[in-house]
A and B are shown apart, each in its own frame.
Chain A
Amino acid sequence: MEQLVYKKPDSIRDDFKITFCSGCDHGVAVRLVAEVLDELGVREKTIGIASVGCSVFSYDFFNVDIVEAQHGRSMAVATGVKRSKPDKIVFTYQGDGDLASIGIAETIHAMTRGEKVTAICINNTTYGMTGGQAGPTTLLGQVTTTTTQGRRADINGYPIKISELLKEIEGTAFVARVTLDSPQAVMNAKKCIKKAFEAQIKGLGTGFVEILATCPTNWKMTPKQAHERVRGEMSEVFKPGIYKDKVSEGK
């Protein structure tokens, strides 16, 4: 008898509409978050905070209640939601520009307070939605619409290493950087996302996962070339790995 081994997660709406470009890793990341919510059995009590960026339409695919935050304010909104409804599971889904540029103050302070929420950050080294400008994570030498000769340290500064920064904050309980460039990487990413939710559920502090993701459109690459870039120059600068894990320490 044949067995069903995969189906669309329940935490994705039946009438979902994926609004991302062809081959964009955002779509895989969204599905992994949904699969984790299903597996933890928390869909009914989860509230998501959508950010501004390509993931602005989160309410079109997540089958949970969603609050749309203004650009960069997701962790502040998440704080308010979680503190007024402490029995809910609260997560943010943010771009690198949203979380680490305009929203870096909210991010650092919410995590310094050890807010019991989970933050997922899609690091695609650019402002995807607005057409590929340089962002806080743009690599040195990377050509964007605002660094037409490539990012220069002397003019534009260095790319921010989000996970290295956030692991130093006492209120974070789980910090990991993952990729989605192979089936194995996708499985590993899911494990880390699950731990980032467990950090919240166990009341240990903020759970955080930085996902090195592709933006084939603005990188002007095929999805395959984009995954090669993640594996290559992106992973060299932004080293994947688990940076902090209080979830396993407590076991």
Chain B
Amino acid sequence: MGRIVLNRDRCKACYICVDSCPKKVLEVDEEVNILGYYPAKFNGNENCSGCAVCARVCPDMAIEKVFR
């Protein structure tokens, strides 16, 4: 089981992480962030493997930490 720390106010809503997450535990938030984007959101699902794929593909370093 894994967990990520996503800084929603750094996210620019490219959704590359959402498309890349092998466990499909990332989704689009319904509330805008400080930049005016609908950021990606970790749904807290225990299926997260802590693979860090999301952090690796994020162009904004919005995914600050990954735990496994």
Contact = CB atoms under 8 A, between A and B. Distances in A.
18 contacts: A2-B2, A4-B65, A5-B2, A5-B66, A5-B67, A6-B66, A18-B10, A18-B12, A21-B12, A22-B13, A22-B14, A23-B12, A23-B14, A23-B59, A27-B58, A182-B20, A183-B56, A224-B15
Interface residues of A, number: 28
A18 B37 CA distance: 15
Given A3-B68, A22-B37, A223-B15, A8 B61 contact: yes
Contacts, number: 76
Contacts of B68: 2-3, 5
Interface string B1-22: 0110000001011111001100
A168 to B, nearest CB: 32
Contacts of A3: 67-68
| Chain B, interface residues (CB within 8 Å), range | 20 to 34
A114 to B, nearest CB: 33
A22 B58 CA distance: 10
B26 interface: no
A158 B37 CA distance: 39
B53 to A, nearest CB: 5
Contact of A23 (B10, B16, B61): B16
Given A23-B16, A187-B56, A8 B64 contact: yes
B32 interface: no
